[in-house]
Amino acid sequence: MPISKTDFVRALQCQKMLWLDSHHPEEKIIPPEVQARLDAGNDFGDGAMGIFGEYVETTTYREDGRLHFAAMLEKTKQLLEENTPVVCEAAFSWYGNYCAADILKKDGNSYALYEVKNSAAVRKEFLVDLGFQRLILRKNGVPLSSSHLVLPALNEPLKIDEEGGHVRVETVFHGDIAYKIVDVTAAAKRMERLAEKHIFEFGKLKRKDAPCPLIGVGEHCDTPYRCWYYEYCHGIVSLDGIDGCNTADIHDAVNKETNDGQETP
Ligand code: SF4
């Protein structure tokens, strides 16, 4: 089954999370503060589209309000053929795996890729997100010169996860707002290799007959974000109708197997 960049980032945190997204999304609980943060991120992304001046956006909706991805793919293809200098929400697909790049900016005969995040830090998951996009774009034959994060320019030092390595930062203004553009090309290339290694493996988790991964609760339930299935996996909500996938049950089963297998002195 094809996956999106969001699927990939989520599966890298925990494969069971992607399995639940596909098989039991009704168990998801998104805290209001997290939803507010996601909404603010969308607004920030919309505001950042104009940082390089005029742009063309591919976003297209169906009559029922859902994204019309096929139309976005077609529009993106046409815009690249026309050498459009700046394309926002540029859509690409490879074996059905898909992504939309926030900003693609013509850079000589190549394109520079920009991912917009409303965050004060360069975080590993943003680099993974860029790595996934790089993979899909390059498989579509798009030559990439560099990869960047666009973050708000705040009055505090930029925090960088160790995976970010050495980065180059410049500040640009658009309207009244200052943005930090962080060149993370080297780290994004490393994450592209990671994406290529796991993309099809993660896709299998979405198959109808895929078994629930045998993954117990742990640090990954809170890192980098509190998982939306935290309550479910920690046995806080009703588990009716979801056989064999509750983490507490799995832990018990695994512990029992381990204990049963131990030799008595
Ligand atoms: S709560 Fe933990 S084990 Fe359950 S899906 Fe989320 S990250 Fe995975």
Average pLDDT, the chain: 87
**Which band of pLDDT confidence, cut at 50, 70 and 90, is reported for residue 254?**
very low
Q: What's the predicted TM-score (pTM) here? A: 0.86
pLDDT tens digits, one per residue of 67-94:
999 999 999 999 999 999 999 999 999 9
pLDDT, mean of residues 149-165: 80
What percentage of the chain exceeds 90 in pLDDT? 70
Fill in the amino acid letter for 107.
Answer: D
What atom in ligand 1 is closest to the CA of residue 220?
A: 7
**Which band of pLDDT confidence, cut at 50, 70 and 90, is reported for residue 236?**
low
Protein residues whose CB sits closer than 6 Å to any atom of ligand 1? 14, 16-17, 20, 215, 217, 220-221, 227, 229-230, 233, 247
pLDDT at site 255: 42
Please check the confidence at residue 230 and state whether its pLDDT lies above 60. Answer: yes
Of 81, 73, 163, 175, the residue nearest 123 (C-alpha): 163
Distance 166 CA to ligand 1 centre (A): 32
How far is the C-alpha of 245 from the C-alpha of 184, rounded, in Å? 38
How far is the C-alpha of 79 from the C-alpha of 81, rounded, in Å? 5
The residue nearest atom 4 of ligand 1, judged by CA position, is 233
Size (the chain), residues: 265
How would you classify the pairing of strands 121-122 and 168-174?
unpaired
The residue nearest atom 3 of ligand 1, judged by CA position, is 217
How far is the C-alpha of 5 from the C-alpha of 2, rounded, in Å? 10
Distance 201 CA to ligand 1 centre (A): 18
* Among the ranges given (63-72, 165-174, 197-206, 251-260), the one the predictor scored with the smallest mean pLDDT: 251-260
What's CA 55's distance to the chain center, in Å? 23
Structure tokens at 265: 């002195």
**For the chain, how many helices (H) and strands (E)?**
8, 9
pLDDT at site 68: 95
Q: Across the strands, what pairs with 116?
A: 150
Distance 138 CA to ligand 1 centre (A): 32
- The dihedral built from the CA positions of residue 55, 58, 59 and 63, taken in this order, carries a sign that is positive
Instruction: Phi first, then psi: give them for residue 4, nearest 5 degrees.
Output: -100, 175
Structure tokens at 188: 């994004």
Of 9, 10, 220, 226, best ligand 1 pocket probe by most atoms within 8 Å of the beta carbon: 220
180 close to 158: Cβ distance less than 8 angstroms: yes
pLDDT at site 252: 47
pLDDT at site 53: 93
Distance 67 CA to ligand 1 centre (A): 28
More confident residue, 83 or 156: 83
- Helices (DSSP H) in the chain: which residue ranges? 5-13, 15-23, 32-48, 69-81, 124-139, 185-204, 230-233, 247-261
What atom in ligand 1 is closest to the CA of residue 215?
A: 3
Of 14, 20, 24, best ligand 1 pocket probe by most atoms within 8 Å of the beta carbon: 14
What atom in ligand 1 is closest to the CA of residue 20?
A: 5
Q: What is the CA radius of gyration of the chain?
A: 21
pLDDT, mean of residues 167-184: 88
Residue with tokens 């991912």: 115
Distance 219 CA to ligand 1 centre (A): 9
What letters, b where the CB count within 10 A reaches 16 and e where it falls short, cover 90-127?
bbbbeeebbbbbbbbbbeeeebbbbbbbbbbbbbbbbb
Please check the confidence at residue 240 and state whether its pLDDT lies above 60. Answer: no
Please check the confidence at residue 210 and state whether its pLDDT lies above 50. Answer: yes
**Which band of pLDDT confidence, cut at 50, 70 and 90, is reported for residue 253?**
very low
How far is the C-alpha of 184 from the C-alpha of 205, rounded, in Å? 30
The residue nearest atom 1 of ligand 1, judged by CA position, is 230
Please check the confidence at residue 264 and state whether its pLDDT lies above 70. Answer: no
Distance 207 CA to ligand 1 centre (A): 19
